[in-house]
Structure 1
Amino acid sequence: MKTLQGSRDDEAAPDGRSRWGVAWWLAFVVCKPALIAVRRRDWRGLDGIPRRGGALLAVNHVSEVDPLLVAEAVLATGRTPAFLAKSSLFGSGIVGWWFRAAGHVEVDRDRGRGGFDAALQALRSGALVVVYPEGSITKNSDGRLMELKSGAVRLALESGFPLIPVAQIGAQEILPAYSRRPRLLKRPVVTIDVGRPLGLDDLRGRGADPDAVQVGTRRLADILATMIEDLAGDRSLV
């Protein structure tokens, strides 16, 4: 389990914006034009992302391309996201170099608490940590939320940092879930909606108590499901 050293918010400029390292500038130059070409954007509530300091974003997962779209929105706020990512992405080659240099958090599921301790360390260093609480891309054909893992809430309760739900829809119209065939001509609207921090104050004094974690995870699931339903409803009216 490792926390990779990349662009961290304790390296922020005087206005609170993160200083981008080489890895993030490279990603921006390569990916931004491509994203503009394949999607229209609808970003909501980005001012709810803290300008500095540790925080967790809990995002629903609908496509292999949605991390790029979520990162794009976060970067627009002046923060650099640190995604929890599987250890195979941190190997050799350009991909491994980029994940390490960009400051993402390695999750080694074969070792004890996986990436939990690494994520705690990242939060305490001031990172904005992005978690996919479903654990994988949704397997629901309608894109709705699957059952959540408890890790995001456990991190929030143990660290004391805010846990912010983020709902998104539309990335699956660019690259459908579990597909390798992108749809590049339609240029769909990708909506990303940042909610308010999850109310956990009544549970924090109980730490990682299993009942508290279960209650918090249920709250997160309910809020994310409602946000996703609202976005789907808006889409049906267009």
Structure 2
Amino acid sequence: MTERSRPSVFWILAGIALPLVAVIAKFRFYDPEKMPRTGSVIIAPNHFSNIDPVLVGSAVWYLGRLPRFLAKASILRVPILGWLLRRSGQIPVERGGVSRSVESLKAAAEMVSHGRALIVYPEGSLTRDPDLWPMRGKTGAVRLALEYDLPVVPVAHWGTQDVMPRYSNKISFFPRHTIHIKIGDPVDLSAFTGRPLTNAILVGATAVVMDAITHLLEDLRGEKAPEIRWNPADHNQNETGKF
């Protein structure tokens, strides 16, 4: 029995979202068997469109898991929608410093420890790379994985930018777009386990996760990513998202 087969508020959300998604997109999966059908897992995708959570969440549903995200707290305060999202286990992330980030981490760890799947964008925001390659990641996902011994499954997708370009909120309905999604093997973080979670350890582990996502995206795009990953700090760009 897959996780999604159990009655839950997700059935309501799926009933609303999936028919709309079907109008604008169709999915083509690569190595879908690599997505764990049960058990605790952190799903780590690339991120370059504001519509990514809707399409990636739909894809994860089709793979038999219930898509839960770290979501902006403001979204969870929207009437009706916010109630549905809270009831489905979405975890609010408040702006405002380290203490609130720690609270989000604890909530995420508690949720995942009960055998659930959590989608975390390691980049923290839309990539700033001009060619839509994954940029330098943030350390929240690997901190959660290393501290609580959770597997990280990398995921790459390509095509959501045709539905909604980066930085845009305008949806392209026609023609119907194909979203390519490739699932990777769990990232080997054994070199970092059992060690103090210093900044160097977290940054190193995050780079390994970002490498895994990038390699999957290279396969989908049929081209090589730049040798040096885009770092907004090197280009005087502000990053949003602290996780």
Return the TM-score normalized by structure 1.
0.86
Matched, 1:98 2:84: yes
Alpha-carbon separation, structure 1, partners of 2:130 and 2:12: 34
Which of residues 34, 37, 40 is equivalent to 2:23?
Answer: 37
Matched, 1:71 2:60: no
2:143 is matched with 154
2:8 is matched with 21
C-alpha change, 1:207 and 1:55, in structure 2 (3 Å) is farther
Q: Deviations over 1:83-114 (max 9, x none)?
A: 11111111140221121011111112325151
Tell whether the 8 Å contact from 2:76 to 2:82 is kept in structure 1 after alignment.
Answer: yes
2:122 is matched with 133
* Secondary structure of the corresponding residue to residue 170 of structure 2: coil
* Secondary structure of the corresponding residue to residue 165 of structure 2: coil
1:207 deviation in Å?
Answer: 4.4
Alpha-carbon separation, structure 2, partners of 1:121 and 1:58: 18
1:11 is matched with none
Alpha-carbon separation, structure 2, partners of 1:109 and 1:159: 24
Give the total of aligned pairs: 219
2:211 is matched with 222
* Secondary structure of the corresponding residue to residue 64 of structure 1: coil
Alpha-carbon separation, structure 1, partners of 2:144 and 2:100: 12
Which of residues 189, 204, 218 is equivalent to 1:200?
Answer: 189
1:186 is matched with 175
Q: Deviations over 1:138-187 (max 9, x none)?
A: 23332111110011111110010101111111011001111122111122
| Identity between Structure 1 and Structure 2 (%) | 35
**Structure 2 counterpart of 1:53, one-letter code:** G
1:40 deviation in Å?
Answer: 2.5
* Secondary structure of the corresponding residue to residue 210 of structure 2: helix
Alpha-carbon separation, structure 2, partners of 1:142 and 1:153: 25
Alpha-carbon separation, structure 2, partners of 1:16 and 1:72: 15
Q: Deviations over 1:10-42 (max 9, x none)?
A: xxxxx24341413x1122222212212111221
Alpha-carbon separation, structure 2, partners of 1:171 and 1:186: 13
Alpha-carbon separation, structure 1, partners of 2:111 and 2:82: 18
* Secondary structure of the corresponding residue to residue 89 of structure 2: coil
Tell whether the 8 Å contact from 1:157 to 1:207 is kept in structure 2 after alignment.
Answer: no
2:234 is matched with none
Tell whether the 8 Å contact from 1:35 to 1:69 is kept in structure 2 after alignment.
Answer: yes
1:177 is matched with 166
Matched, 1:118 2:107: yes
Q: Which runs of 5+ in 1 are unaligned?
A: 1-14
Alpha-carbon separation, structure 1, partners of 2:57 and 2:150: 20
Alpha-carbon separation, structure 2, partners of 1:202 and 1:145: 23
**Structure 2 counterpart of 1:209, one-letter code:** T
1:5 is matched with none
Which of residues 154, 160, 163 is equivalent to 2:152?
Answer: 163
Tell whether the 8 Å contact from 1:62 to 1:169 is kept in structure 2 after alignment.
Answer: no
Alpha-carbon separation, structure 2, partners of 1:207 and 1:109: 27
**Structure 1 counterpart of 2:8, one-letter code:** G
1:208 deviation in Å?
Answer: 1.8
Alpha-carbon separation, structure 2, partners of 1:77 and 1:38: 19
**Structure 1 counterpart of 2:177, one-letter code:** P
Alpha-carbon separation, structure 2, partners of 1:171 and 1:77: 18
